[in-house]
Amino acid sequence: METHLTIVVPAYEEAARGRSGVLNSLVASLREKTFVWELIVVDDGSSDGTPELVEQLVRRNPRVKLLRAPHCGKGYAVLAGMEEARGARILYTDFDQATPLSEVDRLLPWFDQGFDIVVGTRGTGRPQAPLARKCISLGCMLLRRVLLGPDPIVDTQCGFKAFTRESLKSIIPGLHLYHPDNRRPIRGRRVTPGFDVELLMVGRQLGYAIRQVPVAWSYRHCSGMNLSAAVWQGLADLVRIRLARSRGKYNFAPERLPVPARSASQQKPCDCKAARDQRQDQAGR
């Protein structure tokens, strides 16, 4: 039976959260689903026993997989999981479950309406987040608009995004800054903020229909995270993406544009109207 949904969870030094029962909660939530699923936890070179905890879960659950990756940062961990995924839909979500996996029920129905990418958005208030984090988020959003221009996607950084498998087959090779061939070992925790921006930008450039969906979100403290370093990395990523775009790295040839995964005979007449309208609008930008 075909796997309907693959959930990719990047993990770096998450043993403490793992012992608190986060992974067991994920599996318990998935067991309530009626479709076939798989859970891929990608260990990003942890040294605190994270992979050993995941292995315990793998032995008890055949649908759970552990993928060990060299420590190259969150974005590359997500890519590694995507490349191994077998699901028709592929969701990536954060280990800390700031957005609980149960919110996937808000995203999946939009694929049946013809959308290729469904993005969770956290809203602007985020009352639980510290003031410093709110200021950083606002500053990054403004910088993104200044450097890359207006973007219809309100929240590029929410760690809760789902894609069709077919869309990722075109999007991943179209990455420039975070192309899989650019993996390099790093030190310390790195969130790779430009990864989400580039992933969605390439999706838009290729003409895929994107839907934004509000999701629940709670602030989670991230130990070991250097906020100032993350801000500087985010700025550097945005500058590099802008330079790459100015050099035509994201100007894809017509043959790169996606072919619909489903034929018209498989769709209801009204299923994809909104998606087609959005696709045409995005392709014209």
Which residue would you say has higher pLDDT here, 269 or 254?
254
Separation of alpha carbons 91 and 85, rounded Å: 10
The secondary structure element, H or E, covering residue 6 is: strand 5-11
Q: List pLDDT tens digits, range 21-71.
A: 999 999 999 999 999 999 999 999 999 999 999 999 999 999 999 999 999
pLDDT of amino acid 27: 96
Q: Average pLDDT over the chain, rounded to whole?
A: 86
- Answer yes or no: are the C-beta atoms of 141 and 236 closer than 8 Å: no
CATH number of residue 214's parent domain: 3.90.550.10
Count structural domains, the chain: 1
Could you list the residue range(s) of the whole structural domain that residue 278 is in?
Answer: 5-283
Q: Give backbone dihedrals phi and psi of 279, rounded to 5 degrees, phi first.
A: -60, -45
Q: List pLDDT tens digits, range 130-177.
A: 666 666 677 777 888 888 988 889 899 899 999 999 999 999 999 999
pLDDT of amino acid 252: 87
Q: List pLDDT tens digits, range 117-130.
A: 999 998 755 566 66
Separation of alpha carbons 61 and 64, rounded Å: 6
- Mean pLDDT, residues 203-214: 96
Closest to 90 in 3D by CA, of 9, 181, 32: 9
